[in-house]
Structures are given as C-alpha cells and as structure tokens.
C-alpha cells in the first residue's frame, strides 16, 4: 500500500495528539508540591510545548510568495 503525504500528515497529527494527551496526563498527575527547580517537571513542560508547536505547524497554513502573488494579504493575483 502506498501512502499519500496527506495520510502521513494525518498519522503524524494523530501520534502528536496522543503524545500531547499523554504529557497532559503526566503533568496533571505529577506529585505535588512542585518546586520551580524540579527538572523532571520542567522537562515535561518543555516536551509538551514542543509537541504543541509541532501540532500547530501541521495545521497552520503557510503562504508561499510567487511573482504573481507576492504578499499574503493579496486576494487576487496581480
């Protein structure tokens, strides 16, 4: 079976959503009190941020300028 790039993006998004939820659960269930210098907790926060940014990158539309449409705000090709 040959997967299209859309299939691969969907798989990546699903896996990242699973990782994000797992990190959320780990953070939610982390034993309290949490000190500001808790390296393991800070690591979880950093990983959650990376996964969130990766998810956002998959759904964000990217503007690619062309000679006929050099600006993102252009509605009609010039």
Domain boundaries defined on the chain: 14-59
Query: Whole-prediction pTM value?
Result: 0.78
> What tokens were used for 38?
């808790």
Please tell me the distance from the alpha carbon of residue 20 to that of residue 35, in angstroms, as a whole number: 23
Q: What is the pLDDT of residues 23-70, one digit of tens each?
A: 999 999 999 998 888 999 999 999 999 999 999 999 998 888 888 888
Sequence-ordered list of residues with C-beta below 8 angstroms from that of 13, at least 6 positions apart, any chain? 55, 58, 59
């Amino acid at each position: 079976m040959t997967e299209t790039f859309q299939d691969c993006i969907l798989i990546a998004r699903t896996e990242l959503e699973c990782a994000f939820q797992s990190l959320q659960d780990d953070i939610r269930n982390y034993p309290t009190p949490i000190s500001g210098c808790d390296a393991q907790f800070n690591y979880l926060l950093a990983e959650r941020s990376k996964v969130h940014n990766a998810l956002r990158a998959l759904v964000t539309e990217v503007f690619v300028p062309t000679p006929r449409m050099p600006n993102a705000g252009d509605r009609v090709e010039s």
